[in-house]
Amino acid sequence: MKKTVYRVSSIILLAVTAFFIWCAVTVTGHGFLDLSNIVRYVLIGMAVISGVVALVLAKIGWAK
């Protein structure tokens, strides 16, 4: 039961990581207060963190 939760959580976090990467690639900004670079860096950081957590959960979930 516990391994199933870890497996499902790792798959969900992998999808969230892919979404963060997609958002970071497609973010655009223009105008007076352009914060798109800061948003891009924050999204990349969140993608790295969620990817690492997904890898740790996957290692626990699929270990024999």
Kindly report the pTM of this predicted structure. 0.86
Domain count, the chain: 1
Q: In this model, does residue 32 exceed pLDDT 80? A: yes
- Per-residue pLDDT, 58: 95
- Residue 55 neighbours by CB under 8 Å, 6+ apart: 10
- For the residues 32-51, what does the mean pLDDT come to? 94
pLDDT by residue (tens digit) across 8-19?
999 999 999 999
Which candidate, 61, 64, 63, places its Cα nearest to that of 9?
A: 61
C-alpha dihedral sign at 16, 21, 46, 27? negative
- What is the three-class DSSP state of 54? helix
Q: Where are the alpha helices (DSSP H) in 1-64?
A: 2-26, 36-61
Domain that holds residue 43: 2-61
